[in-house]
Amino acid sequence: MKAKVTEIASDVYRISTFHPEYRIQFNQFLIKDDEPFMMHTGFKKMFPITLAGVATIIDPAKLRWIGFSHFESDECGALNELLEVAPRAQAVCSIVGAMVTVNDFADRPPRALNDNEVLEIGSRRLRFLATPHVPHAWDAGLFFEETERTFLCSDLFFHPADPEPLIESGVVDRARESMMAAVTSPLAKEMPYTPYTESTFQRLAALEPQTLALMHGSSFHGDGRQAILDLANVVKETFGTGSIT
């Protein structure tokens, strides 16, 4: 396995590794600025591959912030390995994430962010949105980079295989196909449809992203607002109707 690095927006780098057993990509995103920020660490067992990818962009020791959505191994499994190679680095996550897991798990204390809090990393600002159960998990949150309008959307828009780094159409179709294909698999019920799922998607769409940075699958450049609204409809049809039993 080897990480493939692509600049998907100015100073926003996608570090993508295709895992031959899972048959999906695990993508991390590095935003280069005075205080470099990385979204997702990837699996602990893939850490040397991820680190080699980071090293093609910056000196990994300069990494300052490590963000992720929710506590799962592809989101933050290699957090402590990264904290070790980057002595100034600190995890940034939701308040729930810090209290419930990361305060205990991380070898250095994380910085817990309030809903809508802005993290300044130099010339760039990252807005944190607490999004419980979107894409899944109580501690979920997502980051929006305001200058390039890049939305770091974790598992939203998931699609499998090893597709191209960046597409300009079809991201919702791919997400819909993946959800339909998964309805009989053990992973089918990944998103609980709650009384606030719809309003969370509305809130994300209002960010009007220009680029969607997906953890699994191609990133998307285009009308992010419309893509999120369309995805919200697919999610409602799939998870909001009780049709999966």
The residues that touch Fe ion, with contacts defined as CB under 5 A, are 72, 74, 155, 215
As measured in angstroms, the least distance from the Cβ of 88 to Fe ion is: 26
Q: Please identify, using beta-carbon distances, which residue of 64 and 201 lies nearer to Fe ion.
A: 201
As measured in angstroms, the least distance from the Cβ of 220 to Fe ion is: 16
Q: Please identify, using beta-carbon distances, which residue of 22 and 196 lies nearer to Fe ion.
A: 22
d(CA 96, CA 9): 30
CA 26 to the chain's CA centroid: 10
Q: Please identify, using beta-carbon distances, which residue of 33 and 155 lies nearer to Fe ion.
A: 155
CB 28 within 8 A of CB 42: yes
As measured in angstroms, the least distance from the Cβ of 140 to Fe ion is: 8
Residues 6 or more apart in contact with residue 188 via CB below 8 angstroms:
182, 244
d(CA 108, CA 160): 33
As measured in angstroms, the least distance from the Cβ of 73 to Fe ion is: 9
d(CA 142, CA 154): 7
CB 91 within 8 A of CB 66: yes
Q: Please identify, using beta-carbon distances, which residue of 70 and 176 lies nearer to Fe ion.
A: 70
